[in-house]
Each structure stands twice: as structure tokens, then as C-alpha cells.
Structure 1
Amino acid sequence: MSNNGHNIEKTNFDAFINAVGSEIQQAQVRLITAANAQMLFHYWKMGNYILYHQQLHGWGSKTIKQLAKAIRLNFPEKKGYSERNLTYMCQFARTYPLRVLQNFIETDAKLIAPSVKKIEDEVHYLNDSQFTQEPLAQIQSTGNKEITITQEPLAQIHNVAKTVSDIYRMEIKDIENVFMASPVAKTNWASHVIMLNSSLPLGVSYWYMKQSVEMGWSSNVLKIQIETNLYSRQISNNKVNNFTVTLPAPQSDLANYLLKDPYIFDLAGTKEKADERDIEEQLVKHVTRYLLEMGNGFAFVARQKHFQIGNSDFFADLILYSIPLHAYIVVELKATPFKPEYAGQLNFYINVVDDKLRGENDNKTIGLLLCKGKDEVVAQYALTGYDQPIGISDYQLSKAIPENLKSALPSIEEVEEELTSFLDKDKNP
């Protein structure tokens, strides 16, 4: 065989190895995801099982404490059944009965193309609806007598599936299918505990659950987003923009949905009265956390992008690219409250980026003006008459986010590094 033929064979074999390595990596992710969903389903069944027997037998508040102790004594190798975790399992089952899971699935179907109004309507519907565990509520209590948990009821844990099937009068496989199809099954347990502790309305919990899955948030990131009230900042707050008159309907809805007000940036070390350049430098330095706050699908393009227009030099503060919008985003930072002339300056940069960077497959460039406060009436008036899409948001500088803040999903570089390491080990056992 010629060297050329040998090289082709080696190239083909390397491509084959890469494909196999990719499949193994993906299989590991699928296995972990499936294991997480099965664990959640088990916790949900356990919660239903405990609630059922509490109501059926009138067991008092010490039931969970006694059950945790009995499991610890009889199954010392089993972890995750502390009194605290069993209490969360009951809360988990009570918060997400079968009817709620089914409504979540129906809501998923309605929100394939998200918009602020559609999300608000569905969240309000979930918040206002009275979901109760009717089969559990029909069980008559026999008094509030305490019992001692023994091996006998402990052994009944193996019949949890049958008990849950009896509660909902459905085959356990059908119940499992509903659970697995809901967003509840796609969120890790630590994140569920955070949401249960936050006492969020049902619809708002649903929204955070969906965001957590779509954005790949770790439980730490989810906690921060809840604490900084992301739902209000992205959905329920009144936003100032002209998207409806400058963008076609599908894109204007999406742009308005992706816009937040205010933005909260973690800029540890920034001076209290930082100017625009200080803030820009910190945002670029901590670009990962910056893009996390911007949202899903934003890529960093440039900072202080130079444009020579005529005989003058201009520098755009920040340029991003939004993958969902297929559009460049020009960001102008102001360390002062909004002034009408800021909109004119941003409109100029949008025109320049449209002319110099925008390709034939890119949608209209969008401008985002970030200010240290604004009069919403003045800001809305200032946008009247502009043909370019512009959004105006406040921003706040926060130093509360810990340094180890990190998304649950690895970066592309980390995945490539792990895959290369895996392939190297395979080649050199």
C-alpha cells in the first residue's frame, strides 16, 4: 500500500476513533441523566408513600423521624434517607402531584416559541390553578396516634410503586412515563431542594426549572438567579425598547424575552463609582460570568471595537453575537443615569455594525444601552422615531456572587480536553 493510501486509512481510522469516543462520552451523559431521573422518580414515590400512610393511619409528625432512624438501623448502607431528605421527598411529592406534572407537560407544548406574554400567561395559570392530590385527600384519617416504625412497615417500602399506583389509579409504568416527560425529571435534586426552600409560586418554579435545564445551571447558579429575582427581571418587569416596531413579530418577541431589566453583574474589585472603562474591563475579565447574566446563546465578539468612519475614529463599547436571534448585539455602557442623547449614539453604532459586520444571513443588529438608572417615560420617548431596534436597561454591580460560580455544563474546551485525554489513554493503555 502507498504512503498516500496509508495516510487515508489512518485519517479514516482517526475519524472512526473520534466518533466512537464521542459516542462513549454522550452515553456517559445519557446514563448520568437517566440515573438522575430515576432517583427523582424514586424520591417522588417515597414522598407519596409517606404522605399516603400518614393520612391513611393518622400518623403524627414524628413519623419521618422514626422512619429515618429505622432505615438507618436496618439499611445502614443506604444513603440519602435522612430525616431532612425524607421531609423534602414529602414536600416534593406534595408540590408536584400527577396533575401538576401533566400540566407542566401541556405548558411545555404551548411554549415551544417563548415570548414574555405567553410565559406570563402560562405562569399565572399555573400559579392560580388549585392542584391538589385528590386521591390522597380522599383518605380518611383514623386519628393522630403515634406509632413506632418497625421492620414490618419498613419492608413495605419495596411496595412503594404499588402504593403510588393505587393512589393515582394508574399503572405505575404510565405514571413513570408522565413523570419522565415532565421538566421535574430533568432537574437535579439539589436544585429541587433550593426551589422547595424558596417557596416559589408553582408557575414561577416551573419557569426556573425550565431555565435551569436549558441554560445548564448548577444548583449554585440557580440559587443566585432566584435570589436576584431573575423571573421579574426577565419576565414581569416593564421593559423599555422599541422592538415591536423595528423587528418582525417572531424576532421582536424573542428579543424582548431575552432582554433583562435590570442586569446584575458580579464585578468584585470594581470601584463604587466606576466609569465605563472600569466596568468594561471587569466585564471582559470575567466574561464567563458576564455572559451567564446575559443569558443563553450569547458569544463575546469584541470590546472597544474600532471603526474608522470618514476621517474619524469610533469605538463601540462591547459587541456580542446572539445565536438565538442570529444577530449582533451592540452594548453601550454608561456609568450615569439615562440621557436621551445616549440613544442617538447607540443608534449610530448599530448602523455602523450593520454596515461593517453584519452578513447576509444575520438579522438586524440590536442595540442594548446599559445605564445606572433611568426615567422610563423619558427613555420610551427617546426611542420614538428610531428605525433601529434598541433596548434600554438598568444595571447593578453585585459583589455577592462567589468566585467559584460555575455552570453545571463544561465548556467546549473542557469537553475537548477530556475527550483527547480519553483517546490518548485508549491509544496508550
Structure 2
Amino acid sequence: MSQLSSHLFISVKQLIENAKSSIVRNINTAMLLTYFEIGKVIIENEQDGKDRAEYAKETLKNLSKQLTKEFGRGYSVDNLQWMRKFYLMYQNRISEKYETVSRNSAEAVIYESVSRNSFFSLSWSHYIQLMKIENSDERNFYEIEANQNNWSVRELTRQFNSAIYERLALSRNEKEVKKLAQKGQIIEKPTDVLKSHYVLEFLDLNEDNRYSESDLETGIINKLEHFMLELGKGFLFEGRQRRFTFEGDSFFVDLVFYNRLLRCFVLFDLKIGKLTHQDIGQMQMYVNYYDRKVKLEEENPTIGIILCKEENKTVIEFTLPENNNTIFAKEYRAILPSKEELKKQIG
């Protein structure tokens, strides 16, 4: 194939692929807006019924039979109930312009919305998971994060089950917690990357201490993609057991990452026991070395995170300076936490 023919093929191929992606996005948006409109019609129909509960139950059953006969799968009673809930939960999202259009032009509303703006950017399966979250702020946070980070439905479910919203909220004031619901997780300063603790249930470790720090490190490397999803936004893996030497003595940093949003190195030291002041001193040396020997002048100061089985708040308080913004100790959990317990801590 000549160079000209090859270039032509690549150009045409790109056009076709872009068109396919656009079609898929538009179909998804049209489907979601259709489900939204179906939910609205169901609600309006219920309001005209005399005995709302029984009327709605029987109506959805009959409607499901008729739609399934006409259009096939996708219109079960359960799915119709989700469409109903979809409208109730997201009705304020649709602008007044589209809400006040007459029922006769409902189809025009859907397709004009597709061409002008996508109100719903995730899949129907994503929204079913989101609708299980009753707290609207929490639900908004997960929708934003799923969209920005391209979470699969499985990853969205995992992040919800691991209570990422509560773990981020625990380290923030009321104003910052509100931002989570409005903008998702914004990374602007070192503390923005931190959670109250880290959940490593994907390593399949026992809660007892019958594993070594080497086992913990190897488990993380073997499940690196999962670990980086747990860390959050902007992390790039740089290496493990990074070595440096002072006067013949060698030292090794367990895990080294770079955060492109903070523009700095993030070092992890793994500890399977309770935090000690020696652990903090060791991390301080690692951070100092990276700041003085590795990082570029235009990059920001290195962050050190000691991932330990048990924090020691008193040791942290009296070992680190009050204005510390570079070294942190965080617990990890080998099993998923209790969301109810975390919600109580938020208050």
C-alpha cells in the first residue's frame, strides 16, 4: 500500500470511528431521555388514579406486558419502576425550557436535547446503581466521579461499597464536603489526595498479621490497577523498591508514584503494624532525598504517605510539625468498611 493510500485509509477510518462513537453516545442519550419521559408519563398517570398504590401496581403490570409484546425485552415491571424513580430523582436536572414543552412534542424534546446537550452522560446501568443512593449530595459525587474517571458499573459499585465519599468527607470541612457533591474530588493541594483510610480488600489479605510487608507490597504490585483506582486521581506509577545510598548504606522506598495534578512525587512506605516515630523519621529522610536529589526545580515538594495497619495519633502529633503538609500516616483496611459507621463519624 502506498504512503498516500495508507494516509487516506487512516483518515477515513478515523472518520468512521468518530461517527460510530457519536452514534453510540446519541443512542445512549436518547434512550436515557426516553426513559426519563416514560417515568414522567407514569407519574402523571398515577396522579389521575383513585387508589394510587394499587392502581400503579396494576397499571405497570399491564404496561409491561404490552410494551414487551410490542418492543421485546427492557420493559419489565422492575425496569419501569426504575424509570419512574429516574424521573423523580432527576426531574430538576432538565431545564425549564424542556419541562414546559407540550406533551405533543415530547419526541422533539428528546431529539433536540440529544443534539444540543447531554443531560445524562453515563449508561442506564450506571444510573440504576446511582438511584440506590438516597443522599443526593453523595449520589451527585459518584455520578461526577464515574463520568470523569470512566468508571465501569462494577468499579462504581466497588467505590460506593468502599465508602469513598465518606472517607473523603472525613478529612474535609463542611464547605469542602459540599464541593464534593458539586464538583467531585478536586486535587489542588497535598491533603486533597488523602482519604481517612485506604481499603485494600482486593488484595484478599486476612485481617490478622500473618503476612509480611513484602507480601503487602507484592499484592499491591500484582493488583496495581486496583490500587491506583483506590488512590484516586492523577497518580502515575514510577517504581517499587527505589534505592538510594548514603556513605555505603542503602535505603529503599517501597512504592513511588507521581501525581500529575499536584506535579510532585508521592512516596509510600508500607507497615503491617502500629506506626512508630522511627517510621516517620524514615519517611522524612525519603522525602528530603527526593526533594533535594530527584525532583526538578519547577516541581512541587514530595509527599510521603506511611500506609500502616494502625495509626498512632499521639506519635504523629509530637513528631511532625504543626504546619506539616508533606508527610502523612494513613491506615489501611483489608476488608470493606461499614458505611453506617463512617456516616456516623461524619455526623
TM-score (norm 1): 0.65
What residue number does 1:66 align with? 62
What residue number does 2:131 align with? 196
Residue identity matched to 1:39: M
- 2:301 aligned counterpart, secondary structure: coil
What residue number does 2:195 align with? 260
| C-alpha distance 189-174 of structure 1, shift in aligned 2 (>3 A) | closer
Listed one character per residue, the Cα deviations across residues 355-414 of structure 1 (whole Å, up to 9, x for unaligned) are 3332344322111111112144542443216766122211112389xxxxxxxxxxxxxx
Residue identity matched to 1:221: E
| C-alpha distance 340-22 of structure 1, shift in aligned 2 (>3 A) | farther
What residue number does 2:30 align with? 38
1:205 has 2:201 as partner: no
Shift of residue 46, structure 1, vs aligned partner: 0.5
Question: C-alpha distance in 2, partners of 1:290/1:203?
Answer: 26
2:103 to 152, 163, 176: 163
* 8 A Cα contact 2:162 2:336, kept in partner: no
Query: Which structure ranks higher in relative contact order (CA pairs < 8 Å, sequence separation ≥ 6)?
Result: 1
Residue identity matched to 1:37: T
What residue number does 1:214 align with? 148
Question: C-alpha distance in 1, partners of 2:321/2:115?
Answer: 48
2:80 to 78, 86, 98: 86
Listed one character per residue, the Cα deviations across residues 47-90 of structure 1 (whole Å, up to 9, x for unaligned) are 001101111344513211111012223x0x43311111000000
What are structure 1's unaligned runs of at least 5 residues?
1-5, 104-133, 136-160, 240-250, 401-429
* 8 A Cα contact 2:253 2:267, kept in partner: yes
2:42 to 42, 50, 75: 50
Question: C-alpha distance in 2, partners of 1:26/1:322?
Answer: 31
2:271 to 317, 334, 339: 334
* 8 A Cα contact 1:164 1:172, kept in partner: no
Question: C-alpha distance in 2, partners of 1:202/1:88?
Answer: 16
How many pairs are equivalent? 315
Identity percentage of aligned residues: 23
TM-score (norm 2): 0.80
Alignment of 1:373-388 (within 5 A): 373-384=310-321
Shift of residue 262, structure 1, vs aligned partner: 1.1
Residue identity matched to 1:186: S
- 1:186 aligned counterpart, secondary structure: coil
What are structure 2's unaligned runs of at least 5 residues?
173-185, 338-347
2:290 to 353, 361, 364: 353
* 8 A Cα contact 2:30 2:114, kept in partner: no
What residue number does 1:120 align with? none
Alignment of 1:251-330 (within 5 A): 253-265=188-200, 266-268=202-204, 272-273=208-209, 274-330=211-267
Listed one character per residue, the Cα deviations across residues 221-279 of structure 1 (whole Å, up to 9, x for unaligned) are 11111111110112x1137xxxxxxxxxxx98443222122111111266842221110
